[in-house]
Amino acid sequence: MTTDPQAIRARVDAILADLPGADHDASGDAAASVMDAAMDIDAMGQRLEEAHQILVDALESVEKG
């Protein structure tokens, strides 16, 4: 597992890119696009879990030194 922040950010961004609201504007109002999305809630949960696991693994790698 890499601990390079840029690489981790790129992996997480790639996983989350298709999620509704990933392209929200600078105002941060992504709620409307999330509510209008046709994405399956299970698929959305799976993507979020995958991104979460990448972050957990990276944190564990840093803690182990």
Closest residue by Cα to residue 1 from 52, 58, 64: 58
What would the pLDDT profile of 2-59 be if each residue is shown by its tens digit? 889 999 999 999 999 988 766 544 455 555 555 555 568 888 899 999 999 999 999 9
pTM for the full predicted model: 0.69
Spell out the residues 6+ positions from residue 51 whose beta carbon is closer than 8 angstroms to its own.
Answer: 12, 15, 16
Distance CA 56, CA 65 (A): 14
